[in-house]
Chains A and B, each alone.
Chain A
């Protein structure tokens, strides 16, 4: 039998519907691959029994000619999504044994549509990181390696497990969350597609919060079409999330193959960062040519406040995080380290339960919200945020339909290579992605080339609010032009 795990999600779906394959076989094939690929540490929890039960139910439905849009499709779930009765840790020691009695809205919609859960995927602790190195459950090792070099690489982060699993064929698609680039950057590092939808497009209910005004769930898959299929199931208004948008969810898949003729694509000059290597410029130039060849119009634009985005982001996100993470206090659930009094118990618990990067961000956040510093930091950062939004609004007013940028300033790096001394070195990874979260816009990362080491590089397309369909149409053009799908060599199963 052909390798079922190398199918695209769309192919698998069509073959399931045509009864050429069964959900059981598809799920079993993935479970087997997961077992072989444990060295990657992409999954922090495998749920084979769940998966097999769900697959059997899907086969029954498919057998009756029924079933939802994702019937029988095996997926991995980032460990930030609460899954009913299944351990959910946010890859933090403080939640190491936490089993929620509720299901996040996004995952419940995936199960409603027939998807099968293979397990929970690794991520940076509380999604704070860009390399998956802050996970309390261990690094994820990227399925990718530099040419002629066995050194383990990071898959990016924070959704590093999701990206690695999709890239290594350990699931047909995965969920991620993106607060500053946590879907787009790992997608770019692993040669797959990831989209962060418009803020409010997917419900945040049941997703462990990092920074509430920036967090947004989105899918990973190996093709643009597959992410479109997944997003349709994940998106939608939720009365349990006041910030979710009351807007109908279109059939995103229909945007695949749609003509991009006459669309205006903005190229922001501020994204051409000083000292940016030619290998990043090259796919960007190519992307421009590809879109032009497909009939789009390329326009140079300016987003003048871009340079302030990263600093403002690293004030706002930690500020919200410092408050969001206050609930992990050892009183009601999660880790508790006994202390001589309540304050001591808080201190012991939080010192033992949170990793270094999380503690750092809680401290930064607490500082910038403190009396006397609030105006200078938090308030100012919010003003910058407003200006960044205005930059984008001005672009849309000029008639721009989408903006093309590199997804990351470099290809994947080695484990332990960055950020051990200066955390800002790591934060710089988000330089092209954070503006999109600050403005609440949708952004997609599509594989578009390789760096000098043969590692994947991605292009980012930024859309208007709720302009996801534009991104799928444009992303598909780039995907087609960029050539065959990038697949890592399966060094782990030799």
Chain B
């Protein structure tokens, strides 16, 4: 499942051209009410150590019990990645000492992950696309958080995150540039959000990336890689790859060699620096967790999840292109968020879809941007947008505005149907009610022991 032929993106060195090879390990927090092996809440932002069960704190004699919801989410994600689902997988212990790791081991999946090989189709800005192979997806526990700024000489530990379910999604080394890597994470995030298996909120740390970077001369075998740990924004992923690739090229062109090691990206300084060398790497002493039986489920379990899958971004995009005659680029923009796509479809119903797409992309998004609002907070409903008194023709013509500075486009030409402006407040209220309702629903979803 190697990367298909596509423009080789080469970096210029003083002596040679270099190709960057990138593989990613994405840690995606599973959307679930309870933790992977305990009934404690996964809610973000609680008082430190307020969502900690006896199991999460690793009290003597405590035992993990798998949360079925998390398994369903992992399998769903596997299906969304068109991956092989392993009906039998095994939880292992990854042993190491750290204050925010109460058990002294992380329960993870090592030899037998729940999801095997899959594929993600990545869309680039220019409308082209390519495939990235997925190596595997496994379930594991998150660690707690060490707080070093609370006391002059002591560290504090917050275990709220300890035991929260993560999916580690490992790609093959199929990425060839920072841009591709960013596009891959963007697409993966979209898929996860469509599936509802991870909210993709990188600010909260709910999606983090470990980035493996190596460089080689085109045609050479793979170079020695360095792993950049825990990069927490798409922009930083791009920056980290660029500075790391440059660092490696400089070393190699000076006749040096790359040491396999783990590095950290310092966004403020715009550099990566060594965290630990291969020699210092932990020996994790993985072995099957004797407290847990192998994870097994049948075809019916998978079939049920498959039947409940939503329309995924690629399918939706293809449909928008085919049924609505949109360009792949426009379709790609509209499907990036499930809510946007739904909004668009409502606006487009009964109007010319291409005109509606044009309206969405060239006017509506700009307006939202200006107001700093998400689509859920839109001051007008899709229904109201559809009843904009301007004709399809006028919507079409909005395309010309594209050439004009963004600033000038905002707020212009907006002629909502009657009540549109007044709808502002109501829409806000409705949004809040909606959010509240959803939270209540989540809380009712049963957590497991």
Name, among B61, B103, B105, B286, the residue most crowded by chain A CB atoms within 10 Å (CB to CB): B61
Is B223 part of the contact surface with A, judged by Cβ < 8 Å? no
Whether A239 pairs with B285 at a CB distance below 8 angstroms is no
Is A82 part of the contact surface with B, judged by Cβ < 8 Å? yes
Name, among B54, B60, B63, B285, the residue most crowded by chain A CB atoms within 10 Å (CB to CB): B60
- List residues 83-109 of chain A with CB under 8 A from any CB of chain B: 88, 90, 95, 98, 100-102, 104
From B66, which residue of chain A is reached at the shortest CB distance? A242
Is A326 part of the contact surface with B, judged by Cβ < 8 Å? yes
From B54, which residue of chain A is reached at the shortest CB distance? A102
The distance from the CB of A18 to the nearest CB of chain B, in whole angstroms, is 38
From A89, which residue of chain B is reached at the shortest CB distance? B60
Checking B60, B65, B93, B102 against A331 with a beta-carbon cut-off of 8 angstroms, the contacting residue is B102
Whether B287 pairs with A102 at a CB distance below 8 angstroms is no
At the interface with chain B, which of A62-70, A205-213, A407-415, A485-493? A205-213
Interface majority SS (helix, strand, loop, mixed), chain A: loop
Is B290 part of the contact surface with A, judged by Cβ < 8 Å? yes
Whether A104 pairs with B61 at a CB distance below 8 angstroms is yes
A241-B95 Cα distance, complex, nearest whole Å: 21
Whether A205 pairs with B287 at a CB distance below 8 angstroms is no
Checking B63, B99, B103 against A326 with a beta-carbon cut-off of 8 angstroms, the contacting residue is B103
Whether B285 pairs with A366 at a CB distance below 8 angstroms is yes
Whether B64 pairs with A370 at a CB distance below 8 angstroms is no
A100-B66 Cα distance, complex, nearest whole Å: 24
Whether A327 pairs with B97 at a CB distance below 8 angstroms is no
Checking A88, A242, A327, A371 against B63 with a beta-carbon cut-off of 8 angstroms, the contacting residue is A242
Whether B104 pairs with A205 at a CB distance below 8 angstroms is no
From A350, which residue of chain B is reached at the shortest CB distance? B97
- List residues 317-357 of chain A with CB under 8 A from any CB of chain B: 319-320, 322-323, 325-327, 329, 331-333, 342-343, 346
The distance from the CB of A301 to the nearest CB of chain B, in whole angstroms, is 29
Checking B57, B104, B286 against A329 with a beta-carbon cut-off of 8 angstroms, the contacting residue is B104
Is A264 part of the contact surface with B, judged by Cβ < 8 Å? no
Is B312 part of the contact surface with A, judged by Cβ < 8 Å? no
Whether B104 pairs with A326 at a CB distance below 8 angstroms is yes
Contact residues in B for A366 (Cβ distance below 8 Å): 285
Contact residues in A for B449 (Cβ distance below 8 Å): 239-240
Is B283 part of the contact surface with A, judged by Cβ < 8 Å? yes
Contact residues in A for B321 (Cβ distance below 8 Å): none
Whether A327 pairs with B102 at a CB distance below 8 angstroms is yes
Whether A332 pairs with B61 at a CB distance below 8 angstroms is no
Q: Mark B56-100, 1 if CB is under 8 A from A, else 0.
A: 011111111110000000000000000000000000010101010
Whether B287 pairs with A369 at a CB distance below 8 angstroms is yes
Is B292 part of the contact surface with A, judged by Cβ < 8 Å? yes
The distance from the CB of B60 to the nearest CB of chain A, in whole angstroms, is 5
Is A8 part of the contact surface with B, judged by Cβ < 8 Å? no
From B282, which residue of chain A is reached at the shortest CB distance? A371
Whether A208 pairs with B61 at a CB distance below 8 angstroms is yes
Q: Given A212-B291, A213-B290, verify A346-B60 contact (CB < 8 Å).
A: no
Tell me the total A-B contact number using a CB cutoff of 8 A. 98
Is A302 part of the contact surface with B, judged by Cβ < 8 Å? no
Q: Mark A392-419, 1 if CB is under 8 A from B, else 0.
A: 0000000000000000000000000000
A205-B99 Cα distance, complex, nearest whole Å: 24
A240-B102 Cα distance, complex, nearest whole Å: 19
From A342, which residue of chain B is reached at the shortest CB distance? B99
A88-B99 Cα distance, complex, nearest whole Å: 23
Contact residues in B for A237 (Cβ distance below 8 Å): none
A374-B66 Cα distance, complex, nearest whole Å: 26
Name, among A204, A205, A242, A320, the residue most crowded by chain B CB atoms within 10 Å (CB to CB): A242
Q: Mark B145-179, 1 if CB is under 8 A from A, else 0.
A: 00000000001010000000000000000000000
A82-B60 Cα distance, complex, nearest whole Å: 8
Whether B287 pairs with A327 at a CB distance below 8 angstroms is no
Whether B283 pairs with A371 at a CB distance below 8 angstroms is yes
The distance from the CB of B158 to the nearest CB of chain A, in whole angstroms, is 12
Q: Given A82-B61, A331-B99, verify A323-B285 contact (CB < 8 Å).
A: yes
Whether B293 pairs with A331 at a CB distance below 8 angstroms is no
Q: Given A326-B95, A370-B285, verify A242-B291 contact (CB < 8 Å).
A: yes
Whether B65 pairs with A242 at a CB distance below 8 angstroms is yes
Whether A240 pairs with B63 at a CB distance below 8 angstroms is yes
Q: Given A240-B449, A331-B99, verify A95-B60 contact (CB < 8 Å).
A: yes
The distance from the CB of B36 to the nearest CB of chain A, in whole angstroms, is 13
Whether B293 pairs with A243 at a CB distance below 8 angstroms is yes
Contact residues in A for B61 (Cβ distance below 8 Å): 81-82, 100, 104, 204-209
Checking A81, A243, A319 against B291 with a beta-carbon cut-off of 8 angstroms, the contacting residue is A243
Name, among A212, A327, A342, A343, the residue most crowded by chain B CB atoms within 10 Å (CB to CB): A327
Whether B285 pairs with A327 at a CB distance below 8 angstroms is no
Contact residues in A for B65 (Cβ distance below 8 Å): 239-242
Q: Given A100-B59, A326-B95, A329-B104, verify A242-B292 contact (CB < 8 Å).
A: yes
Whether A370 pairs with B97 at a CB distance below 8 angstroms is no
Q: How large is the interface on A (under 10, 10 to 19, 20 to 34, 35 or more residues)?
A: 35 or more
- List residues 254-291 of chain B with CB under 8 A from any CB of chain A: 283, 285-287, 290-291
Interface majority SS (helix, strand, loop, mixed), chain B: loop
Q: How many residues of B contact A (CB 8 A)?
A: 30
Whether A323 pairs with B95 at a CB distance below 8 angstroms is yes
Contact residues in A for B99 (Cβ distance below 8 Å): 329, 331, 342
A101-B61 Cα distance, complex, nearest whole Å: 12
Whether A327 pairs with B60 at a CB distance below 8 angstroms is yes
A343-B98 Cα distance, complex, nearest whole Å: 9
Contact residues in B for A111 (Cβ distance below 8 Å): none
From A325, which residue of chain B is reached at the shortest CB distance? B104
A245-B97 Cα distance, complex, nearest whole Å: 32
Contact residues in A for B157 (Cβ distance below 8 Å): 331
Is A284 part of the contact surface with B, judged by Cβ < 8 Å? no
From B37, which residue of chain A is reached at the shortest CB distance? A242
Contact residues in A for B63 (Cβ distance below 8 Å): 204-205, 240-242
Whether A98 pairs with B60 at a CB distance below 8 angstroms is yes
Checking B59, B155, B285, B291 against A333 with a beta-carbon cut-off of 8 angstroms, the contacting residue is B59
A473-B62 Cα distance, complex, nearest whole Å: 34
Q: Mark A196-219, 1 if CB is under 8 A from B, else 0.
A: 000000001111110111000000
Whether B95 pairs with A369 at a CB distance below 8 angstroms is yes
Whether B283 pairs with A242 at a CB distance below 8 angstroms is no
Whether A242 pairs with B95 at a CB distance below 8 angstroms is no
Whether B95 pairs with A332 at a CB distance below 8 angstroms is no
A325-B60 Cα distance, complex, nearest whole Å: 9
Name, among A81, A205, A326, A332, the residue most crowded by chain B CB atoms within 10 Å (CB to CB): A326
A208-B286 Cα distance, complex, nearest whole Å: 22
Is A220 part of the contact surface with B, judged by Cβ < 8 Å? no
Whether B290 pairs with A320 at a CB distance below 8 angstroms is yes
Is A378 part of the contact surface with B, judged by Cβ < 8 Å? yes
Contact residues in B for A98 (Cβ distance below 8 Å): 60
The distance from the CB of A478 to the nearest CB of chain B, in whole angstroms, is 33
- List residues 104-134 of chain A with CB under 8 A from any CB of chain B: 104
Whether A323 pairs with B104 at a CB distance below 8 angstroms is yes
A88-B283 Cα distance, complex, nearest whole Å: 32
The distance from the CB of A489 to the nearest CB of chain B, in whole angstroms, is 37
Name, among B57, B104, B285, the residue most crowded by chain A CB atoms within 10 Å (CB to CB): B285
From A333, which residue of chain B is reached at the shortest CB distance? B59
Q: Mark A361-380, 1 if CB is under 8 A from B, else 0.
A: 00000100111001000100
Contact residues in B for A81 (Cβ distance below 8 Å): 61
A366-B155 Cα distance, complex, nearest whole Å: 28
Contact residues in B for A374 (Cβ distance below 8 Å): 285, 287
From B58, which residue of chain A is reached at the shortest CB distance? A327
From B103, which residue of chain A is reached at the shortest CB distance? A327
From A205, which residue of chain B is reached at the shortest CB distance? B63
A319-B66 Cα distance, complex, nearest whole Å: 23
Contact residues in A for B95 (Cβ distance below 8 Å): 322-323, 326, 369
Whether A212 pairs with B290 at a CB distance below 8 angstroms is yes
Known pairs A104-B61, A208-B60, A369-B286. 14 more at Cβ < 8 A? A82-B61, A102-B59, A206-B61, A207-B61, A239-B65, A240-B63, A240-B449, A242-B63, A242-B292, A323-B93, A323-B287, A327-B102, A332-B57, A332-B58
The 4 A-B pairs with the shortest beta carbon distances in the complex, nearest first, are A326-B104, A213-B290, A212-B290, A369-B285
